[in-house]
Structure 1
Amino acid sequence: MSETRKADEPLAVAAWAVHVPGLTAADLPGSPDEPACTPDDAKDVLGRKGLLGKEPSTRLALCAVHRALGLPPGKLAEPLPYAPGTAVVVASNLGNVETVCTVLDDMRERGGTAVSPLDAPNASSNVIASSLAIKYGFNGPNLAVCSGATAGLDAVRLARLLILGGRAERAVVVGVEPADPIASALSGLRTGESGALVGGAGVVLLGRPGAWPWETGITCGPVVRSTERPEAAAPALADAAGGEFYGAAGVVRLAAAAATLNAAADPAAAPSYTVGCGDADDGYLTVSVGRAAERAADRTPVGAGSAS
C-alpha cells in the first residue's frame, strides 16, 4: 500500500454512472443514452446468472457499477485486473427494508422455518456492498453506510479515508435507494422533506491518479460539513422527477456533476461544482468536484454513464 496522504488531497474521479429506471442522459447527466432498465430487466445489463433472489436496490447498484466500469452486457468474461485492493462503500438507508419487514412478518406468523433461504442474506444491511464485491472480485474493505440524508457523501468521505490512509488503492462508491411501498412510506415520514422517494443508483470510482487504468482529469476534494442547506450546483443536477434520492443523493449528484463537467466543450465554462446532500435533521455535507484545464490525453471511454 502507498504511504498515507494529506487529508485535503484531491482524488481522481475515474468514472461514474447514474441508473434511474426510465431516465436517460437527457434527463439526468450520467444516465445511459437509452432509458435505464428497471430492476426486473437487470438481466439486459448483467446477464441472468446470479440475479435470483437479488433485491431491486442490489440490482440497481449492480447495473450502475457495471456501466461505470465500461463492461459489455452480460457476465464477466474474465477477472478484473484492478479488482485487488479495491474497496466498496455503499450508501443506502432503505435498500433492504422491504425484506427485513417481510422476514419479520413471516417469523412472527409462521416461525423461523418460514423464512426463504433466498431472503435471509438480504436481511443484512451490507448485502448490497457484499454482492458488488463478490460479483466483481473487489477484495478491499467493504462498508455499508446508513446515516440518513448525508449517507451518500458520508460514503465518499469514508472512501477517501480508506484510500488516503493506505487501506485501499481505489474505491467503488455507490448510493442507491429503492422505491418500494415500504421504503417510500418510511421516507415520507421524514420531517420537513417533500417529494416522493426515487428509486435509483449512482456510482463514482475514486482513487489517486493512476490507480484506475484510465483518467478523466476530474477530481473531488474533501467532504465538508455545512450548517446550511447547500444550493443546487446546477438545474441539470437536480433530483429526478420532482422526487429525491434520500441516502443516495450525494453519490447521484456527484456522478451527475462529473458527467456534466466531462461533457463540457470548454473546461473554463464549467470549472467546478459544489455538490451537497443532507437535511435539517441529519445536517449537510458538501464536496467540490472540478475538471482540469486540459483533458487527459489517454482518456478511455468508460461505460454509457460516462460521457466521452
Structure 2
Amino acid sequence: MSAVTIAVSGAAAALPGVSDPRDLLHPAVPGADPVDPAALIGKKGLRFNDRATRLGLHLAYVALTDAGLLAERELTVPGDRIGTVVSSNLGNADTVCRAVGTIAKESTSALSPMDTPNASSNIIASETAIRFGLRGPNLTVCNGRTSGIDAIRWAALMLRAGRADHMVVTGVEPDNEVTRRLIDGPVADGGAALVLSRTATASAKALLGPVVHTRGGARTADALTERAPGARLWLAPDEVPVPDGARRLALGGWGELSGALGVVQCAAAAGWFAEGGAGPVYAVVGGAGAALFPAGGAA
C-alpha cells in the first residue's frame, strides 16, 4: 500500500479574510468579514444546517472544484470512488447543548425535527456526502489537537487500501457562544479542505509524504526529519523545536483552530508551493505530523 503516490489535487481555505490557501501565509486581518457559505453555494438546503456544516459544505465545494472533480455543481467522476473525512472537535456542540437544554426544560417532544439531525457527530461529513454525491468512505475524526493530521492520515490509508480514488479532507470549527465557552476564547470560524488523490496530475498542488504519529511534538519533528529531511518551512506551534535558519509559521490570529488546525496547515503548504516555495514542508501539531512536497518532488 505504501507505494501509492498521493497528491493534493485540490485545496481550499475559508476564514475571515481568507479565501485562498495562499492567504494563510499572511497574518490574519483584524475585523475581516466572516465567511458566507450561502454567497458561494447558494441558500438552498442550508436553512436547517448548523454553522459548522455550512462552513464544511463551502470548503468541500471549493476543494472539489479546484481538483476538477466538480463542475457546474455536478461530479466529473463516479461518486462511489470519492470519500470524505472531516475533522472537527467543536463542530455541532451548539446544537447538542441546545438540545440538552430543551430536554431539561421541557421534554424530547419539544425538540425540532429539523434540528435534531444536526446532533449527529458525523453531520458535517454526512451532509457533505449527500450534497455532492460522495458515496465512498465517510467518517469524522474528533480527538483533540492532532485531529486534523489524523484525518489526513485516515484519508491516505483509504486511498492506499484502494477504498477510494479521491478523499475530501475537511477541517472546520465554528465560532459561537457555546464553542467560546468550551475553549474560553474565540474560535477561528472556518477552516480548510483538501482533495487527496491516488494519482498525481499535472495540476496537483503538492504530494503527500510520510504522516507520523508519536508521543509528542519534538518526537514527531524528529521522525519527519529522519524520513523527509531538509524542510524549508515548518507549520508548527511554538512548542515544537525548529532548526536554526528554518522558517516557522504558527498560523495564529484567527482564533482557536482546534480540529481544523492540521488540515489548515496542509492547505497552507499547498499555498506555499503555489507561491513558488521549496519543500518539503512539515505540518506538526502535538504528536502528529505530515510532510508535503512540491508536485513533481520526491514523496
Deviation of residue 224 (structure 1)?
A: 0.5
Q: Matched residues, percent identical?
A: 35
What is the CA–CA distance in structure 1 between the aligned matches of 2:254 and 2:76, rounded to whole Å? 40
Deviation of residue 238 (structure 1)?
A: 2.7
Deviation of residue 123 (structure 1)?
A: 0.3
Number of the residue aligned with 2:75 = 80
* Aligned pairs (5 A) from 1:106-255: 106-188=102-184, 196-209=186-199, 215-216=203-204, 218-229=206-217, 233=234, 237-241=249-253, 243-255=255-267
8 Å CA contact 1:79–1:136 kept in 2: the answer is: yes
Residues 13 and 30 of structure 1: CA distance in aligned 2, closer, same or farther (over 3 Å) = farther
What is the CA–CA distance in structure 1 between the aligned matches of 2:209 and 2:83, rounded to whole Å? 18
Number of the residue aligned with 2:274 = 262
* Matched letter for residue 61 of structure 2: H
Aligned with 1:223: secondary structure? Answer: strand
Residues 52 and 103 of structure 1: CA distance in aligned 2, closer, same or farther (over 3 Å) = same
What is the CA–CA distance in structure 1 between the aligned matches of 2:296 and 2:17, rounded to whole Å? 34
Alignment counterpart, residue 290 of structure 2, candidates 287, 290, 297: 287
Deviation of residue 270 (structure 1)?
A: 1.2
* Structure 1 residues 58-102: Cα deviation after superposition (integer angstroms, max 9, x where no partner): 11111112122237xxx9745302233101100001100000000
Aligned with 2:148: secondary structure? Answer: helix
| Runs of 5+ consecutive residues of structure 2 not aligned to the other structure | 222-232, 236-246
8 Å CA contact 1:209–1:215 kept in 2: the answer is: no
Higher helix share: 2
Aligned with 2:76: secondary structure? Answer: coil
What is the CA–CA distance in structure 2 between the aligned matches of 1:146 and 1:108, rounded to whole Å? 26
What is the CA–CA distance in structure 2 between the aligned matches of 1:60 and 1:252, rounded to whole Å? 14
What is the CA–CA distance in structure 2 between the aligned matches of 1:156 and 1:30, rounded to whole Å? 23
Number of residue pairs matched? 265
8 Å CA contact 1:28–1:240 kept in 2: the answer is: no
Number of the residue aligned with 1:191 = none
* Matched letter for residue 244 of structure 1: E
* Matched letter for residue 195 of structure 2: L
What is the CA–CA distance in structure 1 between the aligned matches of 2:273 and 2:51, rounded to whole Å? 30
What is the CA–CA distance in structure 1 between the aligned matches of 2:295 and 2:64, rounded to whole Å? 22
2:281 maps to 1:273: yes
Residues 37 and 14 of structure 1: CA distance in aligned 2, closer, same or farther (over 3 Å) = farther
Number of the residue aligned with 2:224 = none
Aligned-pair Cα RMSD in Å: 2.7
Aligned with 2:136: secondary structure? Answer: coil
* Structure 1 residues 97-147: Cα deviation after superposition (integer angstroms, max 9, x where no partner): 000000011011111111111210000010000010011100001101111
8 Å CA contact 1:145–1:155 kept in 2: the answer is: yes
8 Å CA contact 1:90–1:155 kept in 2: the answer is: yes
Q: TM-score, normalised by structure 2?
A: 0.80
Aligned with 1:140: secondary structure? Answer: coil
What is the CA–CA distance in structure 1 between the aligned matches of 2:272 and 2:167, rounded to whole Å? 21
Residues 257 and 36 of structure 1: CA distance in aligned 2, closer, same or farther (over 3 Å) = farther
* Matched letter for residue 260 of structure 1: W
Deviation of residue 49 (structure 1)?
A: 0.7
* Structure 1 residues 188-218: Cα deviation after superposition (integer angstroms, max 9, x where no partner): 3xxxxxx7431212101001115xx763262
What is the CA–CA distance in structure 2 between the aligned matches of 1:46 and 1:214, rounded to whole Å? 27
Number of the residue aligned with 1:91 = 87
Alignment counterpart, residue 49 of structure 2, candidates 30, 46, 54: 54
* Matched letter for residue 214 of structure 2: S
| Runs of 5+ consecutive residues of structure 1 not aligned to the other structure | 189-194, 279-283, 295-308
Number of the residue aligned with 1:298 = none
Deviation of residue 292 (structure 1)?
A: 3.6
Residues 116 and 240 of structure 1: CA distance in aligned 2, closer, same or farther (over 3 Å) = same
What is the CA–CA distance in structure 1 between the aligned matches of 2:205 and 2:51, rounded to whole Å? 33
* Matched letter for residue 118 of structure 1: M
